[in-house]
Amino acid sequence: MPRYRFPEPPARLITPRALVMDRRSVMAGLGAAGLMAGLPGSGRADTLAAEPWPGSATDEITSHEVATGYNNFFEFGTAKDDPARHAHTLRTDPWRITVSGHANAPGEIGIEDILSGFDLEERIYRLRCVEAWSKVIPWIGFPLRDLLARFDPTSDAKYVEFETLYDPAQMPNQTGDDIDWPYREGLRMDEAMHPLTLLAVGMYGEVMPNQNGAPIRLVVPWKYGFKSIKSIVGIRLVSERPVSSWEARAPREYGFYANVNPQVRHPRWHQATERRLHDGGRIATQMFNGYEEQVAHLYDGMDLTENF
Ligand code: MTE
């Protein structure tokens, strides 16, 4: 039994739940349930996005218990079990996201309209944290670009900035100074528009648990986990590169690009391997977290040691 209370999950989020333990049946089940119907057109990356991350055939999905019990969500404390213990104070309904900046149709959208208005699909992505551990999670969501398209970005929109809710009454550790609140992150426009970049509203066939970033979070599978900002209330289309909260705090440790790159050390530890949380085993970290074929072209001509 979950220790926290969820809002009533939309029926379409429940469908794949029983299938989660077996990846093959998950994917088959999604096809059968018609959840894959929303996949955009064809093309290499689009096709691949419907499958578990590449090279993961032998990788197991992290247990629900670990995925929801070992978290980074500094708004609720800095210990890994703080979010599971404290995130019940977050109220996720009502919830609105404001989209502003360089758009022809700036505005707001409520979580109900998001859940009913986009084609939700299940995608199994690894989340590789900069602390050198990783999880493999069956997310439920839809491409960020589908949401951005509703607001019609102009050609002046070069970057996207995201902001988490700021409300110390609900997020008690925002009274502390671990981070320059609210938590902020950013992507270059082409990264934001890449079909692998997901807005996730659920996982394991359920509505998103509070400690994992309810009701809506980003998942950028080829970047270190800190890019995957939780509990988003603001999206700004901007012309200048935004500075993320972690970059502001420690620019030598957390670069803007944050691409998973085993060759670039974190100043305090190497990044060549990672500990899988589901069994504690260590594996070699893959370039771009295994998505090199899909995303490497975004960084053609860039020095990824300098632009880390
Ligand atoms: N988003 C917010 N708002 N606050 C945070 O502290 N932590 C980040 C990211 N998103 C964080 C956040 C980090 S460092 C990681 S590794 C992932 O969330 C962890 O996601 P998980 O708890 O679902 O594993």
Query: Which atom of ligand 1 sits closest to the CA of residue 212?
Result: 23
Please list, in sequence order, all residues whose beta carbon lies within 8 angstroms of the beta carbon of residue 129, skipping any fewer than 6 positions away. Answer: 72, 224, 225, 226
Query: Which atom of ligand 1 sits closest to the CA of residue 83?
Result: 22
Residue 60: what pLDDT? 84
Residue 32: what pLDDT? 36
Residue 100: what pLDDT? 98
Ligand 1, atom 22, residue with closest C-alpha = 71
Give me the helices (H) in 172-244, please: 189-192
Indicate if ligand 1 lies below 6 Å from the C-beta of 134: no
Ligand 1, atom 14, residue with closest C-alpha = 226
Residue 186: what pLDDT? 98
Residue 227: what pLDDT? 98
Residue 252: what pLDDT? 93
CA-based radius of gyration for the chain: 18
Residue 36: what pLDDT? 37
Ligand 1, atom 11, residue with closest C-alpha = 73
Indicate if ligand 1 lies below 6 Å from the C-beta of 231: yes
Cα(265) to centroid of ligand 1, in Å? 20
Cα(218) to centroid of ligand 1, in Å? 10
Cα(34) to centroid of ligand 1, in Å? 30
Which pair of tokens denotes residue 204?
A: 């394991």
Contact 141, 120 (CB under 8 A): yes
Ligand 1, atom 17, residue with closest C-alpha = 225
Contact 288, 299 (CB under 8 A): no
Cα(75) to centroid of ligand 1, in Å? 10
Indicate if ligand 1 lies below 6 Å from the C-beta of 73: yes
Task: Name all domains of the chain by residue range, CATH numbers in brackets.
Answer: 11-299 (3.90.420.10)
Indicate if ligand 1 lies below 6 Å from the C-beta of 71: yes
Indicate if ligand 1 lies below 6 Å from the C-beta of 230: yes
Residue 77: φ, ψ to 5°: 125, 165
- Can you list the residues of the chain whose pLDDT is less than 70? 1-59
Please list, in sequence order, all residues whose beta carbon lies within 8 angstroms of the beta carbon of residue 111, skipping any fewer than 6 positions away. Answer: 92, 93, 94, 95, 96, 97, 201, 215, 216
Query: Which atom of ligand 1 sits closest to the CA of residue 230?
Result: 1
Residue 279: what pLDDT? 83
The beta strand positions in 31-132, using DSSP E, are 96-101, 107-110, 121-128
